[in-house]
Chains A and B, each alone.
Chain A
Amino acid sequence: MALFSNINFEKLRSGLSKTRNKFINNLNEAFTGIELVNEDTLDEVESILISSDIGSELSESILDMARIKLKEEKDLSKDNFLKLIKHELGKVLTKNADSRSNSADEMEKYKPYVILIVGVNGAGKTTTIGKLASNFKNAGKKVIIGSADTFRAAANEQLEVWAGRAGVEIISGKMGSDPSSVAFATMEAANKMNADVVFIDTAGRLHTKNDLMHELSKIERVIKKVVDHAPNEAYLVVDGNSGQNALTQAREFSKFSQITGLIVTKLDGTAKGGMIFQICNELQIPVKYIGVGEGIDDLQDFDKQKYLDALFNEVA
């Protein structure tokens, strides 16, 4: 990923480290030296996995896999067991390694490159668009944002502030108007200004609201009318604090749009975002970015290895 390669991972590290320390302390307690794996270790590792929102089922299967692997190993220490766990977790995240992505090459092929942003209420969609827009702008792209949240009070005003901060164009519609008409107008404006990248912000919606989910499909249909390859991406924004419901969100949103990536926000807190493992495992949706704060620069590329390292406090 060329566009964001300049970002530094300090923020991720310091963000994750705030409780990661606790996580690691736990691990260190569990894995002092070369003590051999026993029932207590398994319980402890299970507790650590589950406490990271990895979910009981996946935690169990990761533990089982690591145990089976351990039998083939000479080194039966807890340290080695931990390595195996990490390896298994890593394998889950590579399930989506070859998914299509907005690599610089890919983006050259399509103009404008259209990115739809969806998710439940308060997940961090609007803020993330502000950050993304700023990053693409800084990378020399011509960016336009469509504010297709015509429902929530002051959604337009919020996105306008972000567009201003990022220094990009914005199209917004009237409160209560049809969001797909805003999306349509944005696409036309994008063509007119010869934009490279288009972001469409949508209203937060719970995936249980059928009519609102159909509204998303409609937005997709409408933008296709203007640019037939659109959308190139549909990113699902997931609150890093969320638990098992995130998997349901990913499942349900996938039924209405082809979700091409996840953005996990609020990882500057103490939540670890472990639900991404289940989402990757079941739906093969890659994690693209992580949000690590409320500032315009607080967005990072998701780097599997760095995430795992951060989780296990082994950042180089």
Chain B
Amino acid sequence: MLEDLTQKFERALKKVTGQGKLTESNISDTLREIRRVLLDADVNYKVAKDFMDDVKVKALGQEVLTSVSPGQLITKIIYDELTELMGGQQRELSINPSGTTVILLVGLQGCGKTTFAGKLAKSLSQKKRNVLLTAADVYRPAAIDQLKQLGNNINVPVFTIDGSKDVVKISQDSIAYAKANNLNTVIIDTAGRLHIDEDMMDEVSRIKQTVKPNETLFVVDSMTGQDAVNSAKAFHDRVDFDGIVLTKLDGDSRGGCALSIKAVVSKPIKYVSMGEKLDSIEVFHPDRLASRILGKGDIVSLVEKAQEQFDSKETEDLEKKFLANKFDFDDFLKQIKMIKKMGSLKSIIAMVPGLNKAMKNQEVDDKQLVKVESIIQSMTIAERKNPKLLNGGRRKRIAKGSGNSIQDVNRLIKQHGEMKKMMKMMNSKGGMSSLGNLRNIGLN
């Protein structure tokens, strides 16, 4: 058993030289897998490709300084990059502090504009704004009724002109109405339209030009597939929207279209809509969407945990000791404790796709760690610092004290000795740019 653990140690050591940095070859499997993950999350083919290429360029050569594999590290880098890409922009609505704030909602049919209009109206009313809803969908049967009923439920007036099909006039008049009635916020709900419908696109761009909204929001169904790039781009070309609203995120779609849209129009996601009830509106959290798209929240948190544990001063000290070839049993113990803080070996391995399979023939047993730990804990401080003290009598005492056989104790001491020898070799070769993967004990 101890044998296994040490073999893993040795293998880890052997790998250090090759895996200290992210290279084409040590991340290619993960990149391929993540590309697939992105496509399955509905990220557009071309967007996924460009994104992966960018990330690769940025990541290559980065040092694997933490207790994770290159694959895990690149996953984390991709996650950070995604989060950055989807956040990192101002996401507040632009509110006109003195006059009337006009918000225009546009999008395809059935994407959830009307429901979102109700939600936004409710949320802004709660922030003490005086809201008017404008029903500018004169096409879909009962769309106006729908908005009226929503407005009624939340005590927000709804502006319509009975019988009128002139949505530009309706929109314009609604603003005049708001001004006359001390309403400082107007939300215009437009009809859903296809981005290739010239007449309809022309209509919405005329509304935009006439009312000059403070904020134009493109509402998009989070279940949208590859074509999101086309519709978003067309809407953007015609109405130059300021922000994106992602709807129906209370389902289980992965929401990759958000990345596609960000990639083609580079406008911030301002809200997410999470249900049919009028208070299920939320501000957007880029990190949550990133892990939703990636579906790898587990790896990300593993890497974060690892970074937390290993990026500490303690780790630096350990690293120095490795390099100075002063890695004693106390350091060994610290390392085991770090691993244990991250969870059981099994759970760590289970979190990492691929690793589980790769490890299937290897007995991964936390008992091994416990055993090593118990042996070391039975050593005196002096013995831990200076293994040379460990003569036969002391070994017997340690075996007895820790409840292990004398052979186990001997093996551990021998292996520690070999580890040190190996480290010395590697150090003298100077081939070790980073000791990152040395900390992969038990994982490799």
Contacts and interface: CB of A to CB of B under 8 A. Distances in A.
Contact of A246 (B40, B140, B223): B223
A52 B41 CA distance: 14
A287 interface: no
Interface stretch (B76-84, B145-153, B380-388): B145-153
A241 B40 contact: no
Contacts of A245: 42, 223, 251-254
A272 B227 contact: yes
Contact of B195 (A57, A121, A123, A269): A269
A276 to B, nearest CB: 12
Interface in A186-217: 206-209
Contacts of A271: 225-227
A52 B226 contact: yes
A294 B139 contact: yes
Interface stretch (A71-79, A132-140, A147-155): A147-155
B39 interface: yes
A153 B146 contact: yes
Contacts of B140: 158, 294
B196 A269 contact: yes
A245 B256 CA distance: 11
A122 B112 contact: yes
B146 A270 contact: no
Interface in A47-80: 47, 50-53, 55-57
Given A157-B145, A239-B110, A243-B223, A19 B251 contact: no
A152 B147 CA distance: 11
Contact of A153 (B39, B145, B194, B252): B145
Nearest to B153: A153
Contact of B225 (A160, A243, A268): A243
A248 B224 contact: no
Interface string B75-115: 00000000000000000000000000000000011111000
A208 B110 contact: no
For the residues of B in contact with A, the DSSP-based class is loop
B112 A153 contact: no
B46 interface: yes
A64 to B, nearest CB: 15
A244 B148 CA distance: 34
Contact of B254 (A53, A244, A246): A244
Interface string A239-263: 1011111101000000000000000
A56 B39 contact: yes
B141 A157 contact: yes
B257 interface: yes
A286 interface: no
Contacts of A241: 108, 221, 224-225, 227-228, 231
Contacts of B407: none
Contacts of A275: 225
Contacts of A123: 110
A121 B150 contact: no
Contacts of A243: 42, 223-226, 253, 256-257
Interface in B232-260: 248, 250-254, 256-257
Interface in B137-163: 139-143, 145-150, 153
Interface centre among B41, B140, B153 (most CB of A within 10 A): B140
Contact of B221 (A50, A160, A239): A239
A51 B230 CA distance: 11
B230 A270 contact: yes
A160 B141 CA distance: 9
Nearest to A55: B40
A190 B143 CA distance: 28
- Chain B CB within 10 Å, residue with most, of A51, A120, A160: A51
Among B142, B150, B228, find the residue whose CB has the most chain A CB atoms closer than 10 A.
B142
A83 B153 CA distance: 56
Contact of A162 (B111, B141, B145, B149): B141
Given A206-B250, A241-B108, A154 B142 contact: yes
B411 to A, nearest CB: 47
A124 interface: yes
Given A122-B109, A270-B227, A270-B231, 16 more contacts: A19-B227, A53-B226, A120-B248, A121-B276, A152-B276, A153-B150, A154-B145, A155-B142, A158-B140, A162-B141, A242-B221, A243-B224, A243-B257, A245-B251, A270-B230, A294-B140
14 contacts: A56-B39, A120-B223, A121-B276, A122-B248, A153-B149, A157-B146, A206-B251, A241-B108, A242-B224, A244-B41, A244-B253, A244-B254, A248-B252, A268-B194
Interface of B: 36, 39-42, 44-46, 108-112, 139-143, 145-150, 153, 194-196, 221, 223-228, 230-231, 248, 250-254, 256-257, 276
Report, nearest first, the 6 A-B pairs whose CB atoms are least far apart.
Answer: A243-B225, A122-B110, A161-B141, A243-B42, A157-B142, A154-B146
